[in-house]
Structure 1
Amino acid sequence: MRQFFWLILGLLCAGLSTSSEPQSSVVVRQLESIPFSFAKFLGQFRSSNHTIGDYLPDKVCVFDLEQFGNALQSDALWALNVYDSWGKIPAGLLQGNYFMPGNFEQCRKQTRPNAARWFNSQHCTVRFGFHTLAFPLSPVWLGICLPDSCEPGFIKLMADYFALENGLDPINDYLQADFCYRNEPSQNLGGVAISAIVILSIIAAGVVASTAAEVFGLLFKRPVPQYLKDISLYNNLATLFKTEPKAEQKTDTLDCVNGIRSILMLQIIAHHVHDALRNLPVSNNLSREEYFETAPGILSYRVSALSADIFLVLSAMLLTYGVMRELTNNAGKIGIVRIWIHRIVRVLPAYGFLIYFVVAFAEHFGEGPLYRHVVQPTVDACADNWWSAILFIQNYVNPDRLCLPHTWYLSVDMQLYIVSPIFIYLLWRYGKQITPGLAMLVLIPVVCVFATFTYNDFWLNPPMADDREMHRLRSTYYATHARMSVWFFGIGFGYFLFQTREKQVKWSVTVLTVVSIFATALSGFIMYTAHEIYKPRALDPLGDAFYESLHRVAWVGCHMWLIFMCVNGYGSVLDSFLSWAVWQPVARLSYCMYLIHYVVIMVTFEAVTRQPFHFSAINVQYIMLGVVGLSAAASLVWTLFIERPCVALEKKVCLLIRRSRQ
């Protein structure tokens, strides 16, 4: 009797103790149970009532999943290793830490005999949304480790079944095949890659042989043909890193342009690093959003994008200066075709070979949960639209699938470069008589952009829907007719510099001071306006239309004043800094750096991310410095092996043509 009493008392106490425990949060239970519940669901998929079909790989997949599920329930070490590599709900989910890829390497290493076949694992990433929560929560990316017998489409089907049965949202805005990685025994190179290896090897062999010939000639004091020197590494390295001191008197060299071009290149790299970071999974998304709403974030991302407009001005200015000098020296005669060919040879080989290189090898550079998702769209766009890229028309023909998106600039530059000699000749021939026409060419694009914004009801911030945003980019960002105002502004400035090339422009200190203060204030106002435009605010389409149509011309005008001050000896410390001889090698590499840096960001940082990036201002600087260093090294190789040999070939062909005419 006494034992029965104590038994009853113990049960009552246990019941009271159990009932007094607080119930765990429903949200917490749902979130924390997702990975293990999904693993159990997959292990039981074969025995459930879900339709599998007669497709053999799907049947093998569910059999392997059942083996995995049983082994996991019995705590088999191999199954625990597989599940251990899965993504788990992380800390900071409410702060935007929604990317949980798990351990990519650990998953890929799992393999063991499984019944009549081997169990080899593959890493996949699936996506789930939440519609049952009382508060907004971003969809999560969950890394899972599955048998490699499971095909991506079937994995997506099982993930959708799990989501629907567990109060989650299936997400269909991604291609599952881009997020599954097997341990392929070997990746056979395609025909494009093999042909690229052959062609690039021939070029490299020619450069190395020429270098050996020049070194041999120097050692044994033998004459070396000039055409071998032109493609020799020894000669081209010396040429690239050769520096000239700044001239004491005013000359045609425009030394300050080297510094401006180099700094602009660094700004463009900073812009594209920030652009990559805006889309990269981070562990502290709210901190990232706050950074891009602050003045440093907006200036580093938005204002640095204006460097492309200054490059257009520099290109137009230098073209005008060079063409007018040739017209003056040759009594009004100029070889327009020769100018076009020289420009094409200067731009196309390095660009074309980079497209070839990306299509051939970009898929083989690395791997990771996001690698195909990041790299494959660029590879596919270049494989399909390479022709519009090398014809420099892709800003109009395929603006929604640009091959190497940053190279829209080359299309704009080349189109304007081709038509400009006609305007430059008229300006040289008739001078101030056609300056009103030139002013109209500056004004018309400004009006066009403003009218396009107001007619289509475009705005800059907050972001529009994707289709409208692409319409805006196609109409007012990539389009040559929307960009040509700064180009013709540069032609007018180049004409002014040429007319005053032989003497210093003498303006009073008062005028120089007032205009300098105005240019500085205008630059500050543009940066302040950019901050106000892109910070969280109410919709203002009219204000955005004024900003988009006017800020580019105003921004390049401020930089043209800086060049004017430096060229005419008023730049003081700024002129000394921008004309520093150190900038000369950087300026020579700037074109190849411009081409290559985007690929460097894509394949060495953005695509190979395997864990959420911790966003901070100092980490951004680390990434930018790394990209600058890798881009400089890669651009040096590209310049020595692609650009310089092609320029040397052009020189040789032109020399042969001149000799044949004589």
Structure 2
Amino acid sequence: MASWLLLVFFLAAPLPQESVGLNKFTQLIQPNMIIPSGMMQMMYGSELERRKEQIISKIRDPTCSKHIRALLDGVRKREYWALNMADASVKIPDGVLSLTTWYVGNYEQCLRVQNVKTDSGSFSGQHCMARLCTAKGECVENLAATVEKGLPLIEQILTGHVVKDLLAKLKVIVNTTSVHVGFCMPSTCSSSDAENLLNAAISQVTKEVHTNVRPGDCHTAKGPDFEVLDYITLGLFTAILGVIICSTLYDVTHQETSSRSELYIVFSAYTNLKKLMNTSETSGKDLRCLHGIRFFSIAYVVLGHTYIFHGMIPLHNNTEVHEFLKSLNSTWVLTGVFSVDTFFLLSGLLLCYGFFNAMTEKKSINYKAFYIHRFMRLTPTLLAVLLIHASLVNKLNTGPIWNQIFLEDCYDSWWKVLFYIKNYYYTNPCMLHTWYVSADTQLYCLSPLLLITLWNNPRQGKKLLALGLFLGWFIPFTYAYVWEIPCPITPLVFLGNKAKQSAHLYTSTETRFAPWLMGIWLGYILHRIKTGQLTVKMNKMEEN
């Protein structure tokens, strides 16, 4: 406790005029310390003690105001519950020079404060996360501009290549995230009450910074309430589970009976798992060599997303992350964005190969069945996952950064997923991973135009393929050049001031169809080899 007071005193005390450099340095770092120093001074310092009523008057809810006074009085009286709430709030931040931007406090300690009795009613601990924003309310994209104003102050205080390197890193990191701080409040206070209180305290020190607290940023031990859609989802999947259990029991108990009905075992876990785990030889139509490519590609995708999600959680070594991104060691991670191209290639290959096989056998294609088959394969599963994301996903867990990092907002944007246009709305936080399904489905729907041309007139079809490949390379190059997006696209680009442009470059169909067309061409070649229209000589490997 004494160490806090000494640090608060140092940051808040007026400095002599001759200490110009130190005064500027204090002015620079105070926005990062603003909440802890402001709160601690309000609790202990005589300067803000006189302004306490002025600050608390900014809270609109009278119950919240009374409980804030009770909290401050409890801290002064050294009451255990009040000290727990104060101790659970973030204090003088550590790792400022390491460019740490998340200061969470102690989430569990705050929520352990329960049923505090006061004259104005009882309350419990509520943990809230606040974002530091500029005076104009810009919390992410232009926060770097605010920091830029303070960079010359550091240069005046400190010199050398170390500082210049730190400034370069600061510009990169702050461009991609805002500063978050956690604090403990009475549960009777709303997010707007918490925001008003913090802004009133901050205004005593600076007018350049304020906070933003959204409704989902505050958590209590009670957790989120279930809604009607949540119960509908639980009921539906409970019914599906019941059907699976009944079908499996019927399957197991009627293995050798003549009255066994295939209809009743459609949902049998026993039969379906046997089919999924079957590794025996299938018909010659199956390109078994592709299974290995699928495995390595999905492993690469998982690896890349592991790094991405680690970059989204609070880190205390942002400077080291910056060094890693510039090093040669990061190349194999940053180039993971191209692993998705493998799936587009496989999609085009299998589509063309299957289409030409069907045309060879039947001489025609039922286009109605062509589209219905795709719809029935994807949509029921997609709808089930969408229902879970629209209801239960946000309630699966809780924590100080749960809603900051894992936020699904599908109530108003479900149709973007269900109608397979999600790849053009990538910045909307609803099932972001379905952008690939949308792009691939759009290409599937357009594929008959190319495949029929390639079947009926191979010469014209090849010209169309060549033109498509050229456009598939030219369009993303033009986007990247005009928007000045670096290559390869890194996770930081998606969080910076070019997030929308980067997302469009990464997920739009017109920038992704080149590998799909290469798959179409490869499928065409494989079909010609299979039917004997094209001969490829390969040397056989003989055992010694």
TM-score (norm 1): 0.65
Contact 1:85 1:103 in 2 (8 A): yes
- Following the alignment from structure 1 to structure 2, what is the Cα–Cα distance between the partners of residues 494 and 253? 13
Matched AA of 1:181 = H
Q: Which moved more, 1:235-244 or 1:495-504?
A: 495-504
Q: Which residue of 2 aligns with 1:114?
A: 118
Q: Does 1:149 align with 2:185?
A: no
Q: Secondary structure at the match of 1:94?
A: coil
Contact 1:163 1:169 in 2 (8 A): no
Contact 1:81 1:110 in 2 (8 A): yes
Q: Does 1:404 align with 2:404?
A: no
1:197-216 alignment to 2 at 5 Å?
Answer: 197-216=234-253
Q: Once the 2 structures are TM-superposed, how far is the Cα of residue 506 of structure 1 from its aligned partner? A: 3.7
Give the unaligned 5+ runs of structure 1. Answer: 1-21, 510-568, 573-662
Q: Does 1:471 align with 2:501?
A: yes
Q: Once the 2 structures are TM-superposed, how far is the Cα of residue 232 of structure 1 from its aligned partner? A: 0.4
Percent identity, please.
22
Q: Once the 2 structures are TM-superposed, how far is the Cα of residue 423 of structure 1 from its aligned partner? A: 2.1
- Following the alignment from structure 1 to structure 2, what is the Cα–Cα distance between the partners of residues 72 and 437? 75
Q: Secondary structure at the match of 1:145?
A: strand
Q: Once the 2 structures are TM-superposed, how far is the Cα of residue 209 of structure 1 from its aligned partner? A: 0.8
Q: Which residue of 1 aligns with 2:356?
A: 324
- Following the alignment from structure 2 to structure 1, what is the Cα–Cα distance between the partners of residues 421 and 483? 27
Which of 383, 389, 393 is equivalent to 2:411? 383
Q: 1:501 to 1:413 in 2, by over 3 A?
A: same
Q: 1:402 to 1:166 in 2, by over 3 A?
A: closer
Matched AA of 1:316 = G
Q: Secondary structure at the match of 2:375?
A: helix
1:60-71 alignment to 2 at 5 Å?
Answer: 60-71=63-74
Q: Does 1:437 align with 2:464?
A: yes
1:505-524 alignment to 2 at 5 Å?
Answer: 505-507=535-537
Contact 1:252 1:501 in 2 (8 A): no
Which of 382, 388, 398 is equivalent to 1:351? 382
| Structure with higher RCO (Cα < 8 A, 6+ apart) | 1
Deviations 1:429-457 (A, max 9, x none): 33345312221122123223334444x34
Matched AA of 2:520 = I
Deviations 1:249-303 (A, max 9, x none): xx43221211111221121122222222223211111112222222332321x32
Q: 1:399 to 1:570 in 2, by over 3 A?
A: farther
Contact 1:46 1:63 in 2 (8 A): no
Which of 221, 236, 247 is equivalent to 2:272? 236
- Following the alignment from structure 2 to structure 1, what is the Cα–Cα distance between the partners of residues 196 and 130? 11
Q: Which residue of 1 aligns with 2:474?
A: 447
Matched AA of 2:391 = A
Q: Secondary structure at the match of 2:183?
A: strand
Q: CA RMSD in A?
A: 3.3
- Following the alignment from structure 2 to structure 1, what is the Cα–Cα distance between the partners of residues 365 and 503? 37
- Following the alignment from structure 1 to structure 2, what is the Cα–Cα distance between the partners of residues 208 and 194? 21
Q: 1:491 to 1:288 in 2, by over 3 A?
A: same
- Following the alignment from structure 2 to structure 1, what is the Cα–Cα distance between the partners of residues 278 and 542? 24
Q: Does 1:52 align with 2:78?
A: no
- Following the alignment from structure 2 to structure 1, what is the Cα–Cα distance between the partners of residues 226 and 216? 19
Aligned length: 475
Q: Once the 2 structures are TM-superposed, how far is the Cα of residue 45 of structure 1 from its aligned partner? A: 8.4
- Following the alignment from structure 2 to structure 1, what is the Cα–Cα distance between the partners of residues 542 and 526? 15
Q: Secondary structure at the match of 1:154?
A: helix
Q: Once the 2 structures are TM-superposed, how far is the Cα of residue 227 of structure 1 from its aligned partner? A: 2.0
Contact 2:195 2:213 in 1 (8 A): no
Q: 1:258 to 1:182 in 2, by over 3 A?
A: same
Q: 1:340 to 1:106 in 2, by over 3 A?
A: same
Which of 304, 307, 330 is equivalent to 2:336? 304
Q: Secondary structure at the match of 1:493?
A: helix
Q: Secondary structure at the match of 2:254?
A: helix
Matched AA of 1:65 = I
Contact 2:101 2:180 in 1 (8 A): yes
Q: Once the 2 structures are TM-superposed, how far is the Cα of residue 236 of structure 1 from its aligned partner? A: 0.6
Q: Secondary structure at the match of 1:159?
A: helix
Which of 365, 369, 377 is equivalent to 2:400? 369
Q: Which residue of 1 aligns with 2:310?
A: 277
- Following the alignment from structure 1 to structure 2, what is the Cα–Cα distance between the partners of residues 470 and 33? 31
Q: Which moved more, 1:481-490 or 1:463-472?
A: 463-472
Q: 1:90 to 1:53 in 2, by over 3 A?
A: closer
Matched AA of 2:308 = D
Deviations 1:292-320 (A, max 9, x none): 222332321x3212122111111111111
Deviations 1:93-138 (A, max 9, x none): 2112332211111101113212242131111122447777833676
- Following the alignment from structure 2 to structure 1, what is the Cα–Cα distance between the partners of residues 182 and 542? 57
Q: Which residue of 2 aligns with 1:226?
A: 262
Q: Which residue of 2 aligns with 1:35?
A: 36
Q: Does 1:124 align with 2:128?
A: yes
Deviations 1:432-491 (A, max 9, x none): 45312221122123223334444x3433269599564413532x3322222222222211
**Which structure's residues are more often helix, by fraction?**
1
Contact 1:152 1:176 in 2 (8 A): yes
- Following the alignment from structure 1 to structure 2, what is the Cα–Cα distance between the partners of residues 140 and 467? 16
Q: Does 1:94 align with 2:97?
A: yes
Matched AA of 1:448 = I
Q: 1:132 to 1:317 in 2, by over 3 A?
A: closer
- Following the alignment from structure 2 to structure 1, what is the Cα–Cα distance between the partners of residues 531 and 276? 28
TM-score (norm 2): 0.78
Q: Which residue of 2 aligns with 1:180?
A: 218
Q: Which residue of 2 aligns with 1:491?
A: 520
Deviations 1:380-420 (A, max 9, x none): 2x221211211112334x34426312211111111111121
- Following the alignment from structure 1 to structure 2, what is the Cα–Cα distance between the partners of residues 492 and 402? 35
Give the unaligned 5+ runs of structure 2. Answer: 1-18, 134-146, 155-166
Q: Which moved more, 1:266-275 or 1:491-500?
A: 266-275
Matched AA of 2:186 = P
Q: 1:50 to 1:100 in 2, by over 3 A?
A: closer
Q: Secondary structure at the match of 2:97?
A: helix
